[in-house]
């Protein structure tokens, strides 16, 4: 058909008729005057459409499969990566059991001291700044962590928070040379200040130069104003050496910390301080002291020529010729140098 003026007018007319039919069909709803024509067309062209669809669908499915294969492959690879990461995070069964034990001990510590804690995991050791003893934990400001919060674990004092990011925070460990915490000694309440010394025991200076301190004494944190950076009652360590005071105003002792700073994993940040000072309630149970063995008394007796048995005080306590047994058991012979009872020495005089 050539592009003439008549053909253009015919095309416009057909389009106008199509729009008119569509309008009538929409307004008519279920009673549309063209509904019969639609059903007739469906009867005629329906089988053709089904045949075409049956022929086209496998091709379409194949195209879709090819198109989506890359997406599915990426999804499988993503799931494999997530599975590997999950296995790495969970670790071995032994590691899981150790973590459960650590978490359980830490929760018991926090319950004993009435500390509100936020659990976190140590994700890095050390920091960019110098050679300070620090660790990075996977909790930050989004978790309510703030600077100068006390950090503990199931053993005792770990350190304090120094730097806080949105999702991580840096903890200065208690054995760092720049770390200082006020301490109180168990029972006697002697106050002092503990300073970190790296891998060596903490150095504690007592305010009282004449304080009675001995090996095995235990210390807890004294606490800070408004509980920052330290809450009271957290176990610090045990005295391992005492230096003579030398007449000074202070006295220095060396304390082995309860916490192993080279094997930290699960820690707790104290986000809520206790209402009352727990004093010594958070300290581990003191080991029972072994009873001193009672010495066995030794009694020395002397047998005289006539058979009398004489003790060290010169008193006659018996005669070897007399039976000590009321049932008439034979008495020991005078020629024997016997020891009738344990711890008794018998000397025979001739």
Element (H, E) at 116: strand 116-125
Model confidence over 218-259: pLDDT tens digits? 999 999 988 999 999 999 999 999 887 666 666 789 999 999
Higher per-residue pLDDT: 131 or 275? 275
Pairing outcome for strands 299-303 and 344-348? parallel
Q: At what angle do helices 5-28 and 35-90 cross, to 10 degrees?
A: 80
* DSSP state string for 84-96: HHHHHHH--HHHH
Instruction: Read off the pLDDT band of 350 (50, 70, 90).
Output: very low
Q: Is the pLDDT of residue 344 over 60?
A: no
Q: Is the pLDDT of residue 78 over 90?
A: no
Q: Is the pLDDT of residue 45 over 50?
A: no
Model confidence over 50-64: pLDDT tens digits? 454 455 445 445 444
98-104: which pairs have CB atoms within 8 A and are 24 or more residues apart? 98/265, 99/265, 99/266, 101/154, 102/153, 102/154, 102/265, 102/266, 103/154, 103/266, 104/154
Whole-number percent of the chain with pLDDT over 90: 40
- Six token digits for residue 142: 């989004």
**Residue keyed to tokens 């009673």:** 31
- Six token digits for residue 224: 């800070």
């Amino acid at each position: 058909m050539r592009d003439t003026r008549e053909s253009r007018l015919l095309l416009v007319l057909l389009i106008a008729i199509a729009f008119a039919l569509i309008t009538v069909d929409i307004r008519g709803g279920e009673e549309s005057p063209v509904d019969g024509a639609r059903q007739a067309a469906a009867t005629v062209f329906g089988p053709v459409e089904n045949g075409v669809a049956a022929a086209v669908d496998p091709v379409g499915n194949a195209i879709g499969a090819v198109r989506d294969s890359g997406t599915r492959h990426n999804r499988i690879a993503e799931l494999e990566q997530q599975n590997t990461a999950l296995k790495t995070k969970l670790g071995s069964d032994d590691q899981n059991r150790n973590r459960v034990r650590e978490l359980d001990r830490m929760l018991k510590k926090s319950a004993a001291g009435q500390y509100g804690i936020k659990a976190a995991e140590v994700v890095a050791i050390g920091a960019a700044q110098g050679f300070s003893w620090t660790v990075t934990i996977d909790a930050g400001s989004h978790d309510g962590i703030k600077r100068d919060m006390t950090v503990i674990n199931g053993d005792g004092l770990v350190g304090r928070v120094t730097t806080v990011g949105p999702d991580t925070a840096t903890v200065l460990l208690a054995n760092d040379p720049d770390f200082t915490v006020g301490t109180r000694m168990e029972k006697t309440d002697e106050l002092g200040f503990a300073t970190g010394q790296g891998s060596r025991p903490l150095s504690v200076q007592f305010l009282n130069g004449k304080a009675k301190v001995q090996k095995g004494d235990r210390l807890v944190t004294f606490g800070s104003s408004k509980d920052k950076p330290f809450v009271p009652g957290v176990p610090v360590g045990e005295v391992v050496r005492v230096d003579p005071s030398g007449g000074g105003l202070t006295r220095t002792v060396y304390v082995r910390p309860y916490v192993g700073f080279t094997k930290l994993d699960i820690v707790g940040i104290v986000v809520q301080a206790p209402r009352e000072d727990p004093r010594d309630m958070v300290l581990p149970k003191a080991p029972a002291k072994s009873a001193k063995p009672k010495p066995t008394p030794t009694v020395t007796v002397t047998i005289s020529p006539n058979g009398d048995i004489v003790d060290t005080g010169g008193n006659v306590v018996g005669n070897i010729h007399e039976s000590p047994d009321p049932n008439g058991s034979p008495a020991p012979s005078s020629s024997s140098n016997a020891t009738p009872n344990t711890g008794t020495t018998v000397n025979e005089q001739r």
